[in-house]
A and B are shown apart, each in its own frame.
Chain A
Amino acid sequence: MSDKDENNQMERRNFLKCMAWAGAGVVWMMNGGVLSSLPLVSAAKRKSGFSFVQISDSHIGFNKEPNHDVTKTLQEAVDKINALDDQPAFVIHTGDITQLALPEQFDTAAQVLKTVKANQVYYVPGEHDVFTDDGSLYLERFGRGTLGKGWQSFDYEGVHFIGLINVLNLKQGSGTGLGGTGFGQLGPEQLTWLEKDVKALSSSTPVVVFAHIPLWTIYPEWGWGTDDSAQALSYLKRFGSVTVLNGHIHQVMQKVEGNITFHTAFSTAFPQPAPGTAPAPGPIKDVPAEKLRGLLGLTDVSYVRNGRSLALVDSTLK
């Protein structure tokens, strides 16, 4: 396989083209304990293991440029998932399900996501889902059966999945001299739970962590990071394979640090600018309707091997 690096590179570029639409999702394949990603269209080629799909940032209720119908693009994402020959075991939504945490927005999201064929959709909230009421409506609608303020873990075919919440009690940034990062935060209660949760696991257990705001610092100027993520990751360092899946930034980025692979997902609603390329991290508005889906695919990502399997590595951000 190693003599096909160039071919793989080409395939990966094609893969990005395939994903160049707003409702894109990523299929994660679990083979021999190592995650690799494949385009939805190629999922049928999987021979063993299982797959799951991550979607993110559907922002139901958003109704401005560049997307006046975010319900439709979420539905397109779901349709795409449902059309897979090889159905994913489950779907993970990494938050910002809604725009303003309104009951009718949660309703609409639930109606669309009910059409997912996979048995189960796991959720973590984004700040848009919890900022009005510290997450109580979110918990009621999407957090049933979770622990604490909505965190959770579960096992699937030998893989340990952990859903973390880093969008509650957000503290202000340092702009007016008070200190603080304006980052996401996990909080001591959740960190204590996490430490216990993974304690009994063998280090060879593959671990997948999902949370809304990236657990690595992508761009502090826009608050794209999590204050106490280092603490969380310290509990996971001993594991041979850790994959961290995030949303929030509405674009694909990857980073590999030791055994930990970080990945952020596309939004199903609208793209956001690459760090520092705009005055603010709001939606990219000036997208012609016919190009909306195409724009998301323009993120320039390349892929390298990690020795055992294909891994996603971000190498493009300026």
Chain B
Amino acid sequence: MMETLEQYSILLVYSAMAIYALAFISFALDLAKRSSQIKADEVAAAPAELVGASVSGRSGVTDAPVVATTGAAGASGADAGPKRSVTLRIGVALTVIGFLLQLVGVVLRGIAAERVPWANMYEFSITGTLLIMGVFLVVLMRQDLRFLGTFITGLVLILLGVSTVNYYVAVVPLPPALDSAWLVIHVFVASLGTAFFALGGALSGIQLLQNRRETAKGSKFLNFRLLDTLPDSVRLENLAYRINIVGFVFWTFTLIAGAVWAERAWGRYWGWDTKEVWTFIIWVIYAGYIHARATKGWRGSRSAWLALIGFAAVLFNFGVVNVFFKGLHAYSGL
């Protein structure tokens, strides 16, 4: 019985991956369409200017990145700015379906293991990516960040792909060191923090591209037209900041909860174990990021780089430190 649950679980995870792949394609098509839409708009622009429609697409302070192009849509008569983009909506719908499949898969894994489904690398991966998707979908309800769809589905697909292939382990019971309520709290909050950092990192990345486009207009390098349909760099920076600070709060909690757990399990709350070191490094980098945003001359691109370095350290901590470094945080069978 338990074995079949476990098999259903992995089957659901695979199905979710397939759906995410389709979602990825939809999101990518939308981005491609945005590029060509801009071109079409520019063609239409000449007459449109007479009626004062702005087609520059610089969405500036508008709420949704999409509003800016609607003016042009009327003039060109073509279907639509991205807001009405069918591919975009299909992408989101597919993401929701994939998320639900994955959710059931993760829950089944937990039932099969008779404990929380985040106690080894494979399980961190499926739960962590589930949270990335969840956070993305929840944030979507408040902010139109659908343009991040390609990045998020892509990232989750890669992470799920690597972990199902390399880290899959059958359900095994918890070793005594992990058998603690703190596993539930500490690891879950760490994954939640990671999910926010992923989203924030993506925004900071786009912010950098956008900034480059804004400051070096005309330069060809990394000068994607579709950036014109996205929010401007200041707005991206503010969004990234807000999401990263939520991640930072979760990370701070993870650090404290980890120390409390270490005290219970190992008799000391801090011992500079490799994993502790990296959790600390990540925390300090993000503290630096927050500071940078409040420092003259560091607002904007420089602080965005720090957010990216921070997220790179998060991925490194998860993908490299867990697997290749020696330390007390050795996870049973990965």
User: Do A and B come together as binding partners?
Assistant: no
Residues on A close to B: CB < 8 A? none
Residues on B close to A: CB < 8 A? none
